[in-house]
Amino acid sequence: MNVQVPVTVLTGFLGAGKTTLLNRILTEEHGRRYAVIINEFGEIGIDNDLVIDADEEVFEMNNGCICCTVRGDLIRILGGLMKRAERFDAIVVETTGIADPAPVAQTFFVDRDVSTRTRLDAIVTVADALNLPAQLAECHEAAEQIAFADVVLLNKIDLVAEDALVAIEARIRAMNPWARIVRTERCQTALETLLGQQAFDLKRILEIEPDFLESDHAHEHDDNVTSVSLHSEVALDQDRFQDWFSALLRDRGQDILRSKGVLSLDGEDERYVIQGVHMLMEGDFIGAWPETAPRESRLVFIGRNLHEMDLQAGFEACRVR
């Protein structure tokens, strides 16, 4: 009977179009009740009980893990919203322009109260098509916001020529092969393309094909954030995989922003699906392999300095011999 309310995280640099999008969500006739948790009050032209102020209080957890930060204010606010008699169809959390999206996502992994009553639906990043290249050059948070995204709203396309849009899309792809890129002007797109994505649902991970573009554009820029995809047709040894993967997240979790995988573990009939944010991760067996699909493992990382981690060799060493 306890339905988890989906929570969408909205990130994007100052000026990208977040407020434009939030105003749409709050004013359009969609017949839904959306609560919006915002950081820059005063920008939104609406003042009602569906608009809630956040303070973006990022707290460190005392669990001995240095990069495990959570949003303390979010735990409090979501807890408060769940006490209201009227229910919400969804909640949208806006982060400030230069925020790292990780603490918000980690809050859903770490806090039991939050994860029983609500679920993280997706991270939506609004990117300013005109200014994104400059922002990527100047600020590492811009790259983080792209890296974390499940959906990138490539906004302000009215200001940019087609070939430049193609180039910027290739650059986004190189950093994040999962994200769905939606081109918009004034964030005009059906809200269904942004909300209700279930991007953190392990079952959905099976369906998403990462899109590794073999594009030249991608290599023109020496972006710090990259992605790596690993693949094996040979089943993996469970113990060796667990050892390697947990050590990797423990030692390099600060640089690994997101990870997702569908694995064929030796001796198991079901697909093992994992996903992680920095060093936090969850995994589960999600049903049998389809008759038609080959039993193969695929693991994708998005992060910094991935080339230093010997990912290919480490992964291959997990294969059954």
Q: Interface residues with Mg ion (CB under 5 A)?
A: 18-19, 43
Neighbouring C-beta atoms of residue 162, cutoff 10 Å: 8
Q: What is the rounded CA–CA span in Å between residue 245 and residue 76? A: 32
Closest CB 66 distance from another protein, rounded Å: 13
Which CB, 38 or 263, lies closer to ligand GDP?
Answer: 38
Q: What is the rounded CA–CA span in Å between residue 258 and residue 237? A: 23
Which CB, 20 or 193, lies closer to ligand GDP?
Answer: 20
Q: What is the rounded CA–CA span in Å between residue 177 and residue 40? A: 31
Whole-number Cα distances in Å, 204 to 260, 271, 287: 11, 13, 12
> Contact with another protein (CB under 8 A): which of 59, 212, 244, 289?
59
Specify the stretch interacting with another protein by CB under 8 A; choose among 57-65, 203-211, 212-220, 241-249: 57-65
> Contact with another protein (CB under 8 A): which of 4, 27, 46, 55?
55
Q: What is the rounded CA–CA span in Å between residue 189 and residue 153? A: 9
Q: What is the rounded CA–CA span in Å between residue 197 and residue 291? A: 27
CA dihedral 127, 128, 131, 135 (to 10 degrees): -30
Task: Give yes or no for residue 39 binding ligand GDP (CB under 6 A).
Answer: no
Partner in contact with 66, chosen from ligand GDP, another protein, Mg ion, none, beta carbon below 5 to 8 Å by kind: none
Across the beta sheet with 180-183, what order do the strands follow?
Answer: 51-53, 34-38, 90-94, 5-12, 118-128, 151-155, 180-183
State which of positions 69-108 bind another protein (CB under 8 A): 70, 72-73, 75-76, 80, 82-86
Contact 298, 274 (CB under 8 A): no
Specify the stretch interacting with ligand GDP by CB under 6 A; choose among 142-150, 179-187, 223-231, 287-295: 179-187
> Contact with another protein (CB under 8 A): which of 3, 29, 31, 112?
112
Which CB, 73 or 141, lies closer to another protein?
Answer: 73
Specify the stretch interacting with ligand GDP by CB under 6 A; choose among 101-109, 173-181, 185-193, 287-295: 185-193
Q: What is the rounded CA–CA span in Å between residue 230 and residue 248? A: 14
Task: Give yes or no for residue 19 binding ligand GDP (CB under 6 A).
Answer: yes
> Contact with ligand GDP (CB under 6 A): which of 5, 6, 8, 12?
12
Task: Give yes or no for residue 15 binding ligand GDP (CB under 6 A).
Answer: yes
Which CB, 139 or 206, lies closer to Mg ion?
Answer: 139
Q: What is the rounded CA–CA span in Å between residue 170 and residue 216? A: 8
Which CB, 96 or 115, lies closer to Mg ion?
Answer: 96
DSSP 8-state code for residue 48: S
Task: Give yes or no for residue 53 binding another protein (CB under 8 A).
Answer: yes
Task: Give yes or no for residue 3 binding another protein (CB under 8 A).
Answer: no
DSSP 8-state code for residue 237: P
Binding residues for another protein, rule CB under 8 A, total 27
DSSP 8-state code for residue 235: P
Whole-number Cα distances in Å, 285 to 110, 240, 261: 21, 17, 12
Closest CB 65 distance from another protein, rounded Å: 12
Query: What residues line the site for ligand GDP (CB under 6 A)?
Result: 12, 14-20, 126, 155-156, 158-159, 185-187
Query: What residues line the site for another protein (CB under 8 A)?
Result: 1, 41, 47, 49, 52-53, 55, 57, 59-63, 70, 72-73, 75-76, 80, 82-86, 111-113
